Amino acid sequence: MATRWGICGAGKISHDFAVALRSLPAEEHQVVAVAGRGLPRAREFARKHGIPRAYGSYEELASDPEIDVVYVGTIHPHHLAVGTLFMNAKKNVLCEKPLTMNLKETQELISAAKSNNVFLMEALWTRFFPVSMEISRLLAQGEVGEVKLVRADFGVPILHVARSVEKGLGGGALLDIGIYCLQFALMVFDGEKPESIQAMGTCLDTGVDEAMVVTMKFSAGRMATCTCTIAAELPNDALITGTKGSIRIPAHMWCPTALVVNGKETQYPVPEPCLPLNFINSTGMRYEAEEVRRCLFKGLKESSRMSHADSLLLTDLMDQARRQVGVVYPQDSA
């Protein structure tokens, strides 16, 4: 029986997610409805992707009885309200990253999932790529010995993109792209809470961070350094250094398709898309969709790969980093 998807939001990321689902077997994943900020926009999205039903409001999507899980592809300031809407309607939810704007909102969203007894997962697609799964396996086997240092960089010049720079749209380097670097470090250290976190950054006139460097110290003197910027292109790689070797993601650390282990590189290509994509390697979103289906069939309410505890810790650390740099959103004082 196919997992029946509803898509909330008819923007670029939702387009890529719909394309990713079409790379999976139709008997396992089907998009049955989409809702946009207006009916014409939703209808055009539905026409492009061959989706049977289009709605001009999120409430209509929430009321559709033939949906198993909703993918929330709206901008992150809307995640709490929209996610709660669907979960109150007893819909399972896969919500784009960041799950919410701050720790308080994340706690509220997770509470809504638990009170409604539904599945909720933050759509941090990086966690589910074959490369990431292989990294976890290698670390568990002690391939590089004791991990001593983790470094992850992500920088792209997107100052011209409104949602990346406007505070009201949830802009800023950390929440938009730096989150990938922090989650990578937490994945490597198996969800351990760091002993300390220090952040330095520069802010735009809009009040959001243009660039940030976050350093975390873990137990036994282990360290992680994460750098992000929306003003320039960085190498966008990641490195794990241990006492017996190293593991490196050579490029696109947020959607990796190659891995270098002690100097030997292996490729993990993603499927070709059936339609042009907005973002690189977006068919890789299929892996998080497969995880959702796996969890639903097992009756799970969260994924062990990206658990509620993982989202809470990640949001908490981003809150701490933002406070140190002086980035405050309206939701922080709500």
pLDDT in tens, 193-251: 999 999 999 999 999 999 999 999 999 999 999 999 999 999 999 999 999 999 999 99
Kindly list the strands in the beta sheet with 29-35, ordered across the sheet, starting from the edge strand earlier in the chain.
53-55, 29-35, 3-8, 69-72, 92-96, 120-123
Q: Is the pLDDT of residue 112 over 90?
A: yes
Nearest CA among 57, 43, 97, 44 for reference residue 75: 97
Which pLDDT value is given to residue 62? 98
Helix axes 286-298, 12-21, angle to 10 degrees: 70
Average pLDDT over residues 99-123: 98
Cβ atoms 166, 290 nearer than 8 A? no
Nearest CA among 127, 154, 145, 179 for reference residue 261: 145
Which pLDDT value is given to residue 6? 98
Residue type, 217: K
Report residue 213 CA to chain centroid gap.
Answer: 19
Q: Alpha-carbon dihedral of residues 69, 73, 76, 82, nearest 10 degrees? A: -50
Q: For the chain, what is the mean pLDDT?
A: 98
| Paired strand residues for 209 | 203
pLDDT per residue as tens digits for the range 75-97: 999 999 999 999 999 999 999 99
Q: Read off the pTM.
A: 0.98
Nearest CA among 102, 326, 75 for reference residue 199: 326
Q: What is the 3-state secondary structure (H, E, C) of 154-203?
A: EECCCCCCHHHHCHHHCCCHHHHHHHHHHHHHHHHCCCCCCCEEEEEEEE
